[in-house]
Amino acid sequence: MTFVDFEEVPAGIDTSRAHPARRYDYWLGGKDNFAVDRESANMLAGVFPTIRLSAIENRRFLHRVVRFLTAEAGIRQFLDIGSGLPSAGNVHELAQDIAPDSRVVYVDNDPIVLTHARALLRSTPEGRTAYLQADLHDPARILAMPELLRTIDLERPVALMLLAVLHFFDDDAEVHRLFKFLREALPPGSYIALSHATTDDEPGVDVAEREALNRRAGIPFRLRSAADLGDLCAGLDLIEPGVSALSRWRPNVPEHERARPEDICMHGVVARVP
């Protein structure tokens, strides 16, 4: 069964400023982006030329994480917040390939994602998927949405996916607040997967300058360190290898084929709720 939870009709697509979902789509080679997104993307690429590789490695990380969670950790329920536009290998496709009864709730706040949500809703008959237009700033609302509650059972382990989304949250206290709220809502045996932009792997870079560039490119985002992500996950059991460069998290290609951390500048981590 498939449902879309239309709490409010999307207010149309704003092409006057860059949006994260559309800019990311551009880096991944998609067509759902506008001149303003491409301008923003190219501005960042001018300073960090491998940023497209970074987006690709983030998707590869997502693929390995979902396989790990489904095949090794036995997870059958996913909550993917900041899911982005449908792309090659969405969470439900990867999970249901291994376990057809997997259930996935996608959440994003960008109206363009809603217009493409149909692709996220093609579930196996044994499983189920839902798409919710909602904002991560209000996690209580997300967890109370009827379509979420019809799709996943919050009494049973859930994998919360927060991939490449928390760096759009400028306020550290806010990130800690909403992360704490979500992890406390998850039963023991649940997992949380994160990926996040960093400058840890770019020695000598001026973080303030890089963040100012992000603001000029129309999408402010914060760069956080491995230590910051470790703090966020305090009290959770980190899955080996802990917080690491994306390409080094349980890689499935030989060393010489792995992207260099300095070309990605993103950390990933998967943690288990004890």
Ligand X SMILES: C[S@@+](CC[C@H](N)C(=O)[O-])C[C@H]1O[C@@H](n2cnc3c(N)ncnc32)[C@H](O)[C@@H]1O
Cα–Cα distance between 171 and 179 in angstroms, integer? 12
CB of 257 to ligand X, least distance (A): 21
CB of 204 to ligand X, least distance (A): 26
CB of 212 to ligand X, least distance (A): 20
CB of 213 to ligand X, least distance (A): 17
Measured from the CB atom, the residue of 7 and 206 that comes closer to ligand X is 7
Measured from the CB atom, the residue of 1 and 88 that comes closer to ligand X is 88
Q: Tokens for 121, please give them.
A: 């809703």
DSSP code, position 101: T
CB of 274 to ligand X, least distance (A): 25
* Angle in degrees, 0-180, between the axes of helices 20-27 and 51-67, rounded to the nearest 10: 100
Measured from the CB atom, the residue of 160 and 233 that comes closer to ligand X is 160
Residues that bind ligand X (CB under 6 A): 20-21, 24, 58-59, 62, 82-84, 108-110, 113, 135-137, 163-165, 168
Q: How many residues does the chain have?
A: 274
Q: Tokens for 57, please give them.
A: 């490695």
Cα–Cα distance between 211 and 194 in angstroms, integer? 20
Closest residue to ligand X using C-beta atoms:
84
Q: What are phi and psi of 45, to 5 degrees?
A: -65, -25
Question: How would you classify the pairing of strands 244-245 and 2-5?
Answer: unpaired
Measured from the CB atom, the residue of 39 and 126 that comes closer to ligand X is 39
| Sign of the C-alpha dihedral computed for residues 79, 84, 86 and 91 taken in this order | negative
Measured from the CB atom, the residue of 82 and 157 that comes closer to ligand X is 82
